[in-house]
Structure 1
Amino acid sequence: MDLKITATSPEHPAALLDLPWSVPLEQWPDEHLVALPRGISRHVVRFARAGGEVVAVKEVGEWAAVREYGLLRDLDRLAVPAVDAVAVVTGRTDERGEPLEPALITRHLVGSLPYRSMFETTMRPGTIKRLLDALAVLLVRLHLSGFAWGDCSLSNTLFRRDAGAYAAYLVDAETGQLHPRLSGGQRSYDLEVARVNIAGELMDLEAGGSLHPSVDPVLFGREIVERYDELWHELTRESVYPLAKRHYIDRRVRRLNNLGFDVAEMQIQRSPDGDTVTFLPKVVDAGHHQRQLLRLTGVDAEENQARSLLNDLETWMVSQDDYAPGDPLGARPEVLAHRWVRDVFRPTVRAVPLELRGSTDTAQIYHELLEHRWSLSERAGRDVGLEATVEDYVRTVLGHRQTEFGK
């Protein structure tokens, strides 16, 4: 059989032809390889240069290679975090004409690391928790897309930290199955596999002295199931919100925040009956909101203030007609953020009399107004708006402070 390369792009076959396909992968010469950390795998895996990019090459049976190639392309179409399929190479033979195993080629995920590389130095429990939260987010997103992993583990996942956000990516889809919708039993099976695998992998790290002594592998294995269940419930509850009840959306965002997750993306679908809101979660590192708010708006705030302001900004942005993530014709987030500062943030803060603010900075004032708006809206059963919030805040909160401090 002649060598055959099935690729996602017409550019890839030419670059891939330069690789030594007549040599078993574990014997490839160093001149073709790139020294990058690899996770544990049942198969021989190597990183290699192909044209201007780095690819991961995995030797696997033809049926499995073609199947995984197709599944990875499906996950890409569904916008699920996974490595990109590049090509499948079949018809390999050595110099004596003996057949060699086919190969699946995926694109190296820049900036990502397998979990063992991240544990080479003892990782703090808080960081481990964020990584497991990121894996819970990935598992929820896979299940929402109808993908049953079948072998969820730390070994089959790559982790990447980008601007303070932790993200997990599927790297091995060999055992996966894609369905229109998953049953409760299919999800439960995936969760049980994840619990057992993660506990076992953490025990292995513990035995090698790479796990923080305060981390209990069995408890952490259970916790990812609990985190998954909490997140699944919060994301799959379908609610339609009347236009006048924006505080219902704020309530959902707060619940996600209280669970320890941030909102990466929010979508609102309008209908005559009201707004249907969906959220995409993410896991962030300390100080992320501070940096993000400063980058988008120029507003310098403390972390909790910044999170509150960013939630308000995101909710406001999705209500704008030109908000269209991913659409080149839509307004960029920086443009919308500038408009929010100009049309919402500054006018609202300026509506609070300067003499009543004392030494309170503008970010804290706006944060307190958002908290006050939330409280008023909950009591009223509708969104009271910022104008009424400012009026009540000045009278009941700042007025009380004036009396309390005798100013």
Structure 2
Amino acid sequence: MAGSLNITAATVDPALLDLPWNIPLDEWSNEHIAILPKGISRHLVRFANMSGYVIAIKETTAEMAKREYEMLRTLQRMDIPCVDPVAIINNREDEEGTPLKAALVTRHLKFSLPYRALFSQTLRPDTATRLVDALAVLLVRLHIVGFFWGDVSLSNTLFRRDAGAFAAYLVDAETGQLYDGGLSNGQRENDLEIARVNIAGELMDLEAGGRVDEALDPIKVSNGIVAAYRSLWKELTGSESFSSSERWRISQRVDRLNDLGFDIEELAIKTSDQGTTVRIQPKVVDAGHHQRRLLRLTGLDTGENQARRLLNDLDSYSATLGKQGLDEEAAAHEWLMRVFEPVVRAIPTDLKGKLEPAEVFHQLLEHRWFMSQAEGRDVPLAEALTSYINDILRHRRDEATVIEPPTETISIPVLASEPGTGATDEDDDDWRSKV
């Protein structure tokens, strides 16, 4: 390899050195490239196989690669859902010594997909709404830790199925900024407006290509992120006052936040001078309430909604079979060994890439319920599993590694024209005026 390559990484995988960094990314051969669906980016992004997993490589400037790499590492330490930064590749040169762009390397999030790959034919209104709701939750989590995104969009997000809903993960952090003192209301509203306009533009682009259901209204769906965000933000951070005789409302507020999937590390409680009014306000809110409980009990690391569903089945197992006498950990271990793991082992090897195990288990429970309703009897889990594998799972496409992208990559209008995008002010005005 020509030149002196400079690799910055917390843990360097030697396989990084085997990739052709002396060749421009758009000229890499199929020997190294992994064919996965990708979102729209202002930079060239390609996927590559490395050490049994897939990495995403983005060509950019050395300064921007360093900034985004450090930002992603910081967000990871704060337990924010985002892609895993692997390395920065600097000092790239071709065989003639011509400098090449720096590269940011991130690890591909298994079982995640860009929004364009989450539907096979047309995007239905309910699917679009669930994507927007997931993005609203991610945006709230980012704002709580003081992160201003600056480029909120479906394209800059990856989605994983989460027990009938979606979980959103930040992909592109190059425009983001972290503020130690938190965000002002103006900064939060700015991010929210960017999200609203970008989502409308993305959905209009799909609409123009005939890729959305006729009943889908891009403006209505994009406006949904505003309502979803504000409702969740108020629940997580808003203060609440009530009579001192209604102290049970303190526990009710905590339970409500737990049901939303959030934990409270600190709760501020103030009483009036007369002792007749109590005012409470969550101080630090952390997401993943059910995830942490499931992880503690079983060692399973899942999405929040998946964890909620698995815990419900665990609790039902304990109640139905009279396991209440066991302590929680012992009952969870028995459920794991006798219920969850046998289901996972029963999935044929050629189907294991269809969905992650927790999502398979959730869908199996759904399938069993529908079978029981249709047949008017309690269908055994083993019978439901056989039916689910043959009638549903076998006909799904793989989501661990999608071989063929379901949609072609096309350009969409951007918020502002920038060098190299081909966008013009007229392009922007054409659709932004509708938003």
TM-score (structure 2 length as normaliser): 0.62
Relative to structure 1, is the Cα distance of residues 69 and 198 closer, same or farther in structure 2, using a 3 angstrom cutoff? same
Do the aligned partners of 1:202 and 1:217 also contact (CA within 8 Å) in 2? yes
Q: Contact 1:125–1:214 at 8 Å: present in 2 too?
A: yes
- Asked if structure 1 preserves the Cα contact closer than 8 Å seen for 2:130 and 2:165, the reply is no
CA shift for structure 1 position 163:
3.9
AA in 2 matched with 1:214? A
Counterpart-to-counterpart distance in 1, 2:305 and 2:266: 32
Judging changes above 3 Å, is the alpha-carbon distance between structure 1 residues 279 and 117 closer, same or farther for their aligned structure 2 residues? same
1:183-202 aligned at under 5 Å gives the runs: 183-202=184-203
Deviation string for 1:218-258 (max 9, x for gaps)? 1211121121111111111256999994443325655x69x
The equivalent residue for 2:49 is 49
Change (3 A) 1:232 1:28: same
Q: What residue is the counterpart of 2:173 in the other structure?
A: 173
Offset of 1:266 from its aligned partner? 2.3
Q: CA–CA distance in 1 between the matches of 2:107 and 2:195? A: 25
Spell out, residue by residue over 1:319-350, the C-alpha distance to the aligned partner (whole angstroms, 9 max, x if none): xxx99xxxxxxx69937999xxxxxxxxxxxx
Looking at structure 2, the residues matched to 336 and 139 of structure 1 have their Cα atoms a distance apart, in angstroms, of 38
- Look up the match of 1:293: 312
Verify the 8 A CA contact 1:34 1:47 in the aligned structure 2.
Answer: yes
Distance 2:286 2:92 in 1: 45
Q: Which residue does 2:287 correspond to in 1?
A: 280
Whole-Å Cα distance in 1 between the matches of residues 113 and 331 of structure 2? Answer: 29
Would the alpha carbon gap of residues 209 and 281 (structure 1) be closer, same or farther in structure 2, given more than 3 Å must change?
Answer: farther
Equivalent position of 1:2 in the other structure: 4
Range with greater deviation from structure 2 (136-145 or 119-128)? 119-128
Distance 1:333 1:129 in 2: 37
Separation of aligned partners in 2, 1:63 and 1:225: 33
Q: Tell me which residue corresponds to 1:216.
A: 217
Preserved contact between residue 39 and residue 116 of structure 1 (Cα < 8 Å) = yes
Q: For the Cα contact (< 8 Å) 1:48–1:54, is it kept in 2? A: yes
Partner of 1:83: 83
Are residues 281 and 234 of structure 1, via their aligned partners in 2, closer, same or farther at CA, if it must alter by over 3 Å? farther
Alignment of 1:100-179 (within 5 A): 100-179=100-179
Q: Which amino acid aligns with 2:112?
A: S
Structure 1 residue 263 corresponds to structure 2 residue 270: no
Answer yes or no: is the 8 Å Cα contact 1:293–1:300 preserved in 2.
no
Matched to 1:280, the amino acid is: A
CA deviations over 1:32-52 (Å, ceiling 9, x no partner): 111111111111111112223
Return the offset for 1:71: 0.6
Amino acid at match of 2:6: K
Q: How far 1:273 moved relative to its partner?
A: 7.7
- Number of residue pairs matched by the alignment: 304
- Secondary structure of 1:81 counterpart: coil
Choose between structure 1 and 2 for higher RCO, CA contacts under 8 A separated by at least 6 residues: 2
Partner SS state of residue 182, structure 1: coil
Deviation at 1:28, TM superposition (A): 0.7
Q: Deviations over 1:252-276 (max 9, x none)?
A: 655x69xxxx522423548998997
How much has 1:119 moved relative to structure 2?
Answer: 3.5
Query: Quick one: which amino acid aligns to residue 24 of structure 1?
Result: P
CA deviations over 1:81-114 (Å, ceiling 9, x no partner):
1111110000000011100000000010001000
Counterpart Cα distance in 2 of 1:162 and 1:153 = 20
RMSD: 3.6
Q: Does 1:226 align with 2:227?
A: yes
8 Å CA contact 1:119, 1:211 repeated in 2 = no
Name the larger-Rg structure: 1
SS at match of 1:31: coil
CA contact (8 A) 1:120 1:210 kept: no
Between the aligned partners of 1:95 and 1:129, the Cα distance in structure 2 is 49
> Which digits, 9 at most, give the CA deviation of each residue in 1:301-324, with x for residues without a partner?
9xxxxxxxxxxxxxxxxxxxx99x
Cα distance in structure 2, aligned partners of 1:294 and 1:232 = 30
Match of 2:67 in 1: 67
For 1:204 and 1:282, locate their aligned partners in 2 and report how far apart those are by CA, in whole Å: 37
Q: Which runs of 5+ in 1 are unaligned?
A: 302-321, 324-330, 339-407
User: Could you tell me how far apart the structure 2 residues matched to 1:185 and 1:91 are?
Assistant: 40
More off after superposition, 155-164 vs 182-191: 155-164
C-alpha change, 1:98 and 1:212, in structure 2 (3 Å) is same
Q: 1:136–1:227: 8 Å Cα contact kept in structure 2? A: yes
The CA distance in 2 between the partners of 1:142 and 1:42, in whole Å, is 22
Task: Note if contact 1:153-1:197 (Cα within 8 Å) is conserved in structure 2.
Answer: yes
Deviation at 1:212, TM superposition (A): 1.6
- Counterpart of 2:195 in structure 1: which amino acid? A
Tell me the equivalent position of 1:382. Answer: none
Structure 1 Cα separation of the partners of residues 317 and 60 of structure 2? 51
Q: Provide closer, same or farther for how the CA distance between residues 95 and 102 of structure 1 changes in structure 2, counting only shifts above 3 A.
A: same
Is 1:237 the counterpart of 2:245 in the alignment? Answer: no
What SS does the corresponding residue of 1:225 show, helix, strand or coil?
helix
1:17 aligns to what SS in structure 2?
Answer: helix
Secondary structure of the 1:30 match is coil
- The 2-side partners of 1:238 and 1:332 are apart by 39
Q: What's the secondary structure of 1:168's corresponding residue?
A: strand
